[in-house]
Amino acid sequence: MKEDLRISKKKPSYQISEKLDGYLSHYNRTINLPIFYSDLLRFQGSVVVYDKNDKDTLWVRVYYNEFEREEIDLSLKQVYSILISDGNEYILKYLNIDAIDFCTFGNSKPFRIKVRNILNDNYTYFYVKKADASRVYGLELEHMLSPYNLNFLVSKDTLIEEHIAGIPGDEFIKNMLPNCSSSEKSQIAKEFIKFNERCMIRLLGDMRSYNYVIVPTHDFDHVVYKIRAIDFDQQCYEGNLKIYRPQFFKENYKMVEMVREKIQRASVDQYKIEERSIMAKRMLSFSNRISRLLDCMENDKISIDKHIEQLRQDIYNYTLDINFKNSNSMGLIVKHALNYVKRNYENVNTFH
């Protein structure tokens, strides 16, 4: 379980195809923006951002010359208004751009924008990234197949993402998990099993602890914990099936260990079936939209031939479904994976 999986150090960024752009436009995911990712790259300098314990966060706070900063701030306020509202400029006078941070860690190299309401000091974040087809497919699949709705916009080569709130998984595992009660640990273990299954089915890779968040919700006399992915860069790119199963990353070992301690084998199987059934129901609910997305993926190049060949063989060995043998694109592999789950769900329910 503590196997150190190898992930491509530099995944290429794949352009948004004309067909995918048409899909995004149909579902109101595209819009004309007043600023692009490339505009934010023109910063004059930066300073390192440290956390409350004086640890390097791997983010740097960037600054621009005075003239450009004024124009950039206005454009980012407009983007925020478009993302969370109807684009009405009335609210702009109540907003302030407190910080623009840049992260050189990972493939997406995002900008994180901190927006504050000057009337009450409430603040939130959104992200400006270079648009990558893999990531867009990942966001759309998450929106339809997970319990969570995602808000994002694409404009040419720029991707705008709403912030996903939660406690970073690595921080939670290190600082909060040891203090959880026995019943809370059981509940978190259950959620990790479901999260693991969800990632594998829709082929979302690299869910190491810092790529997901734990979301605690108070419910009457106890706290309910949910696990949410926050990084969709590794949507169906790698060839090794284990990369799509969070249980195999050493960073998640504490979670896997907790599953072993708290959850019996029969319950593990039960929770897997529950998650597959819920995903199958979501597929049926989003039937036309998922079909259109998979049609775009099927004809899109979002990985390399070597990875496609390895993954289709790995999944065939796992499922013995001959459809995977004939998959010549990552999109087809995802399509057959989802159909495999939906087909099994429909077959079971024909007897009830």
| The pLDDT of residue 3 | 55
**pLDDT bracket for residue 4 (50, 70, 90):** low
Distance CA 283, CA 341 (A): 10
| The pLDDT of residue 352 | 41
Tell me the pLDDT tens digit for each residue of 166-210.
Answer: 999 999 999 999 999 999 999 999 999 999 999 999 999 999 999
- Structure-model confidence comparison of residues 7 and 157, the more confident one: 157
Distance CA 336, CA 342 (A): 10
Tell me the pLDDT tens digit for each residue of 9-21.
Answer: 678 899 999 999 9
The C-alpha torsion from 144 through 149 and 155 to 161, rounded to 10°, is -130
pTM score, whole prediction: 0.93
Residue whose C-alpha is closest to residue 128's, from 53, 38, 46, 68: 38
| The pLDDT of residue 1 | 45
Residue 199: Cβ within 10 Å count: 24
| The pLDDT of residue 157 | 92
Tell me the pLDDT tens digit for each residue of 207-229.
Answer: 999 999 999 999 888 899 999 99
Residue whose C-alpha is closest to residue 236's, from 290, 312, 162: 312
Residue type, 47: V
Tell me the pLDDT tens digit for each residue of 63-102.
Answer: 999 889 999 999 999 999 999 988 888 899 999 999 999 9
Six-digit token string for 303: 């990985």
Residue whose C-alpha is closest to residue 327's, from 286, 350, 299: 299
Using the structure block, give the residue that is written with the tokens 């007043």: 34
H or E element at residue 190 = helix 182-202
- Whether the Cβ atoms of residue 113 and residue 125 lie closer than 8 Å to each other: yes
Domain boundaries in the chain? 18-162, 167-349
Cα Rg of the chain (Å, integer): 21
Diameter over CA atoms, the chain: 69
Distance CA 242, CA 246 (A): 8
Distance CA 193, CA 268 (A): 7
- Whether the Cβ atoms of residue 203 and residue 214 lie closer than 8 Å to each other: no
205 three-state secondary structure: coil
Tell me the pLDDT tens digit for each residue of 113-144.
Answer: 999 999 999 999 999 999 999 999 999 999 99
Cα distances from 318 to residues 33, 200, 205, 313, in angstroms, run 44, 11, 17, 9
Mean pLDDT, rounded, for 309-316: 96
The pairing of strands 123-130 and 152-155 is: unpaired
